[in-house]
Amino acid sequence: MCAFVFTSCKKGYTCYCTNPSGTFDYYNIHDTKKNATQRCKDYYDTHYASVPFNEVTCELKTK
């Protein structure tokens, strides 16, 4: 447990990727919020950003 610096505590997060039909892809991340946010963004960039006319969004949520 982080006693002094709360921003560096590792927690459980889930990166959810959705489109207008609903959630179709997600994965769990156990890291700091900053790193988890970046990993979720990187996941989107790697898997969906290059798809033309994509309606996918990925967002991070606390478990």
Report pLDDT digits (tens) over 9-39: 889 999 999 999 998 999 999 999 999 999 9
- Secondary structure letter of residue 6 according to DSSP: G
For 39, residues 6+ apart whose C-beta sits below 8 A from its C-beta are 15, 29, 31
Given a cut of 70, whether residue 4 has pLDDT beyond it is no
Q: Does the pTM exceed 0.85?
A: no
Structure tokens at 18: 């959705």
- How much is the pLDDT for 48? 93
- How much is the pLDDT for 7? 54
- How much is the pLDDT for 47? 93
Asked if residue 8 lies in contact with residue 32, where contact means CB atoms within 8 angstroms, the answer is yes
